[in-house]
Structure 1
Amino acid sequence: MEKHKDYLKSPDLLPTSIEKRTIGSFGFVIVWIGMAVVLAAFTLGGAGIQQLPLGMVILATAVGSVLLGILMTLTGDIGVEHGLSFPVYMRAPFGTVGTHIPSILRGFVAAGWFGVNSYFGALAMNSILYTLTGFDSWELCFGLFVIAQLINTAIGIKAIERFADLAAPIIILISGWMYITLSDQAVSTGKDIWSWVESPATGTVAFTAFIVVVMGNMGFWSALAADMPTISRFIKAPAHNKNWFKRNKNAILGNIVAYPITQMFMVAIGAVSYIALGNADPIAAIQQSANGLILGVLLMMIILAQWSTNTTANLTPAATIFSNIGGPRMPFWLGVIVAGIVGVVIQPWNLFEFINSTLLYIGAVLSGIVGILIADYYFIRKRRVNVKDLYELDGQYHYKNGVNYAGFIAWLVGAICAIIFMNYSFIVGLFVSGASYFVLAKFWWFKVYKQKEIENPSDDLYLGISVGRSWEIPSQAPPIDVEDTVLEWRQ
């Protein structure tokens, strides 16, 4: 019986208190730089430059990244305001049982990216060893690299932030060197990087190509747009302040400035690499552009870049989700191991060539979750959340057998529409799912399953840091009646 009571109260999923939020504005910028340097992003530039000039590819990336950064900040307020992670809040729009389905999807996407990035890091590690010793086994390097990342991430969020502090300046150096070197190589072959296009598109074809780059960039980070609360709950925010911009100021600089700039730089490097070498593969580009000690240093930076991205953007969210599914018996560190196993089993070495073609599909499916989160949190609950019941099996979020059908219907409708209009997948999925959920939940589902924060929209009862509150929930149910297990807070 005790296990039944505690199922939703895994210690790693409890709300983050104000005192435990350790990441400031500059720290989050550093974290974002570490996350956004993903070698797979180079392929977006390599694909875009085939039909559009470099300036248009960068502009499309900027548009997609800024839009997604705004969405990340919107969903991230769930973590900033209430200290809640993504899988916990998903119990509101999907139910205490239903949350597992979209959460598992997000977890597998994150684990998949972990595997892909680890594969790149392993190739770089193997290249260093081969150059120095003649040893050649990317498989062994892959295994060692995976284990090292799992250990680092299992230590916790502060360890991740400290690692990002080390990786970020190194990442900036390698990115700058690659861009300059590849640009010089392109010029030496008679190609102007700002005007060269492999097969120039015009008219409506050019517009479609532009939109595809925008949607591809949004799809690239769509999983994190939904899962941002898992990270944002560790970001510092002022207590007793209901102004949205002031409360999220430490997140805005990272999401809307640091992330788009870094993403544009990564895409530009991929495009210039394709112009210079006919190949957007970063490892191949580096090997063709450097040798000796410089090559070794650059490859080591590649390893650090993938490590930094994986710990924050992939392993941490995936581990949190798997911990939510497993309950108290699956702590965060065990969730990290599960994420690592999934990332290896999917055989990432066979996935990279399909990344561009799958990003639109990923965006189509995950964008609906972002739309539903925004509709539920802002337009229906108006940021007020009955956090107590998020941790109760028989509370208001149990709905019908633990499932909120309004959420699943809206998600399905949005995903179908997004797939039909694939070139606009993310935007279509976002708005269709969000609008569908708003109508279904407000005028149907919540008429049947009453929500306390909607029926009694009290700031004092249902807001978090805006009224100076850190939500607290016992991680183990006491040996008394469940009615006596109450949610406490500090004012």
Structure 2
Amino acid sequence: MSNTARKNLYRRLESHLESNNEDAGPARGTLGTGRIGMIWLAANLVVTTLLTGTLFIPGVSFLTALGMIVLGTVIGAIVLTLIGNIGTRTGLPTMAATRGAFGLRGSLLPVFANVIILMGWSWVQAMLAGITVNYLVESLTGFSSPILFAVLCQTLVVTLAIFGHEGIAKVEPWMAILILTIMAYVFFVAFTTFSPAEYASIPVDESHGLTTITVLDIVIATAISWTVLSADFNRLAKSSKAGILGSGLGYVASTVLAMTLGLTALSFVILSGGEATAFDPTVIVASFGAPLAIVIFLSVMATNTMVVYGMVTSVINARPQLRLKFLPTALILGAVSIIGATWFGLLNQFTDFLVVIGAFFVPVFAIMIADYYLIKRRAYMNDILRTTGGSYWYRGGVNWSAVVSWIVGAVASYLLTYVWVSPVGATIPAFIVTFVLYTLLNLSTRSRFTGHSREHLGETITIDVVENQ
């Protein structure tokens, strides 16, 4: 191929990629409750959610863990659906919607945190996929290199994110059906081998340092970690009702199923006389074989592809005036995600990673909910699409009351987790403190937004998504 032909091919490829790139502008969705529900069901049937369930046993009893999984998921889903509804009503993705509260420049703070968190998720999931693939290969051939397989898995993920993210989005519901079928098989094996009473009678080991409240905090933090993408997904909904019901039911169902599967699988290992090693996919794969390994691999390919794609669009849309290109940005972030997949030490700090997510984003979402639903009266103006000036410029592009509230909330989360351990956890108090503080600091500005149009910001822009219902 000549240099000219190669350049033309590159230009056509780049044009195709950019034409499919969802920008930070408003978009009108067309999906109903069922389709939104399937998107959320597929998205969170992922290895990290599954393995989070293994963290709880035998630190607390099986029934306590199960109860906190359900309660924490429902609480987290309330925040997730409220943020998602902002996306449905305005057409904006989550990080673009932060401009309303933080300002056109101040929104770079949550955007930067979002990219860091998503990068961390991509590393963790790539490592877990690599460990799983390595286990199967080693059992068949004797060859072992977890780092090599983690890199290969993440390389495949980056390739899919660049070339096949739309295809992944379309096949995710079908992958969810396959994953649910295999999960049903695992539950069948687990509960026909041992009775529910035997699972409930597993002795609690207090040396793990878990309590009912810490389990609740971890489950809520999982929901918070997904909320960074809630408006991105829910702006595809055709109505608030479809977005709220679809995301709420889909997220609750997938999270409860995935975490309960992890909880049950490790409990099965304990009852079988095995070692209770949490957050290690090989321990439960050894008990349930290749079917569970398939669940882990497929879930990583589907979810991590959308995570990497989300990182790229977040960076591109952080400062639209820079006109960053999709392909170079994807290649740079993809390379970082591949290199980071070799940092296996992160797996040993997964619980701390969830705490960091909570400290970063619980205050952000408390501020966004207070700002949109109370201060701005469920209305954002077209000024939010500007790069400078307008109603969301505040002081030099930053709403300092949001920044102060965020800092106070993040510090409160840290102190209540590590310094003055709260009897009711850190997540809920940090949310309440941030919500109340931001509301009080901005209550005097509420009258400015009376009578503003509540119309969708992108009335002339439509996302055409085919529903297969």
TM-score normalised to structure 1 length: 0.78
Q: How does 1:12-411 map to 2 (within 5 A)?
A: 12-18=22-28, 21=29, 23-155=31-163, 158-183=166-191, 192-199=198-205, 209-235=211-237, 237=238, 247-275=239-267, 276=269, 277=274, 278-281=276-279, 283-290=281-288, 295-312=289-306, 314-325=307-318, 327=320, 328-346=322-340, 347-411=342-406
Pairwise CA distance, 1:234 = 2.0
Measured in 1, the distance between the counterparts of 2:330 and 2:429 equals 33
Check the 8 A contact 2:217/2:427 in 1, yes or no. yes
Pairwise CA distance, 1:116 = 0.7
Which residue is equivalent to 2:459? Answer: 469
Mark the CA change 1:429 to 1:281 in structure 2 (over 3 Å): closer, same or farther: closer
Measured in 1, the distance between the counterparts of 2:191 and 2:352 equals 27
**Structure 1 position 439 matched with structure 2 position 440:** yes
Pairwise CA distance, 1:48 = 2.2
**Structure 1 position 413 matched with structure 2 position 408:** yes
Pairwise CA distance, 1:51 = 3.6
Which of the residues 457, 480, 483 maps onto 2:450? 457
Check the 8 A contact 2:50/2:259 in 1, yes or no. yes
Check the 8 A contact 1:122/1:138 in 2, yes or no. yes
Match for 1:152: what amino acid?
L
Match for 1:176: what amino acid?
A
Match for 2:440: what amino acid?
V
SS in 1 for 2:76: helix
Q: Deviations over 1:116-148 (max 9, x none)?
A: 111111222333444455543333322332222
Give % identity. 21
Judge which range, 375-384 or 128-137, deviates more.
Answer: 128-137
How many residue pairs match? The answer is 429
Q: Deviations over 1:414-458 (max 9, x none)?
A: 112222222522112211112111121233xx49xxxxxx53533
Measured in 1, the distance between the counterparts of 2:251 and 2:439 equals 30
Q: What RMSD, in angstroms, separates the aligned Cα atoms of the two structures?
A: 3.0
Match for 2:456: what amino acid?
G
Check the 8 A contact 1:112/1:342 in 2, yes or no. no
Mark the CA change 1:366 to 1:146 in structure 2 (over 3 Å): closer, same or farther: same
Mark the CA change 1:155 to 1:396 in structure 2 (over 3 Å): closer, same or farther: farther
Measured in 1, the distance between the counterparts of 2:73 and 2:161 equals 26
Pairwise CA distance, 1:471 = 5.9
Check the 8 A contact 1:319/1:333 in 2, yes or no. no
Check the 8 A contact 2:135/2:282 in 1, yes or no. no
Mark the CA change 1:340 to 1:217 in structure 2 (over 3 Å): closer, same or farther: farther
Measured in 1, the distance between the counterparts of 2:375 and 2:77 equals 22
Check the 8 A contact 2:126/2:151 in 1, yes or no. no
Mark the CA change 1:326 to 1:131 in structure 2 (over 3 Å): closer, same or farther: farther
Measured in 1, the distance between the counterparts of 2:188 and 2:203 equals 19
Pairwise CA distance, 1:253 = 3.5
Q: Deviations over 1:196-254 (max 9, x none)?
A: 133369xxx99x8222111111112313224411222222x1xxxxxxxxx32322344
Match for 2:27: what amino acid?
S
Task: List alignment gaps of at least 5 residues for structure 2.
Answer: 1-19, 463-469
Match for 1:455: what amino acid?
R
SS in 1 for 2:198: coil
TM-score normalised to structure 2 length: 0.82
Mark the CA change 1:281 to 1:51 in structure 2 (over 3 Å): closer, same or farther: closer
Measured in 1, the distance between the counterparts of 2:383 and 2:110 equals 22
